[in-house]
Amino acid sequence: LEDSFLQLNWSDEAKINTYTRRPFQPRLIEEVVLAYLNGDTSTQRCTSDFPDRAIIQQLIPNSNKVFRVVVGIRGDPWTIISFYSSSARRKFFKKIKHKKKHDKQKTMTEHDKQEPLAKFIANFTYYDDTNALVVNFTEEPDELAEDATKYILVYYNQTDKIMAIRIDSPTICIRGITNDKPSFTLNPTYDEERDIFKINFADSISMTTFQKTDVEDVEIEIDDEGKLVAILFHNANIKMANMCVK
């Protein structure tokens, strides 16, 4: 059936997202990529931090949004890896800016005592064919997504609250995760006094560094090798969709 209607290859992640959460139809997603391959000037190819991938994007008519398709460019035909809509003001027909070096904010030597709140994560899925970890804070469709770092994508719902994140190549960037049968343990905590929601991916370690990201109020915690230890969401009661869940 897929061979009859689709012209490109599809990852398992992309297939699942077309019929579980997202309003985009497979044919429409392929049309964006095929339009670029056919020389349509309404599309644009952006470089990716991964050498075997590219991002094809196109303005969504009558909106300030741009639709982005991440494709694997090794092999013929190309492979649809993932897709999402984003803000056209940031993404469309602008020069690809160099990734700025994040300033180190502070160093933590002692972790705060915080109460685990597992109920604030709806579910998470690891896709081995695309090597991606998707963490859903609520079960609802996403409206927009923004790049926080070169490997973290933040999804927003219709009320502009964060409802999910996607981590690219978690077997490479998360501390303690290996390529051989990767296993993930997520430990969410909430600091009520500072209003910070935090996802811990690794056990407590003696020395970590905090870095700001390109998304406001989203911060990452890394070890001395640059591996991801945790993601922090400041002003959580305002920014996080899961903080409204009873």
The CATH code of domain 2-91 reads: 3.30.2310
Residue with the two structure tokens 């502070």: 106
- DSSP alpha helix (H) spans, 23-169: 26-37, 88-91
79-87 and 9-10 beta bridge pairing = parallel
pLDDT-based confidence at residue 119 (cuts at 50, 70, 90) = low
- Please say if the pLDDT value at position 136 is more than 50: yes
Q: For residue 172, what is the enclosing H or E element?
A: helix 170-173
Q: How confident is the model at residue 114 (pLDDT cuts 50, 70, 90)?
A: very low
Structure tokens at 215: 């998304």
In Å, what is the CA distance from 68 to each residue of 24, 42, 160, 176? 11, 13, 18, 31
Instruction: Compute the distance between CA of residue 156 and CA of residue 218 in angstroms, rounded to an integer.
Output: 13
Q: Greatest CA separation found in the chain?
A: 58
- The pLDDT assigned to 3 comes to 57
| Residue spans per domain, the chain | 2-91, 107-244
Q: Where are the alpha helices (DSSP H) in the chain?
A: 2-5, 12-20, 26-37, 88-91, 170-173, 236-239
Whole-number average pLDDT of the chain: 83
Residue type present at position 147: D
pLDDT band of residue 62 (cuts 50, 70, 90) is: confident
Token digits of residue 145: 């997504």
Extract the runs of DSSP E, i.e. beta strands, from the chain.
9-10, 43-47, 53-59, 65-72, 79-87, 104-108, 115-116, 123-127, 132-136, 144-147, 152-156, 162-168, 187-191, 196-200, 208-212, 218-222, 228-234
- pLDDT confidence tier of residue 23, bands split at 50, 70 and 90: low
150 strand-pairing partners: none
Report d(CA 219, CA 135) in Å as an integer. Answer: 16
What is the pTM for the complete model shown? Answer: 0.81
Strand partners, 66: 59, 86
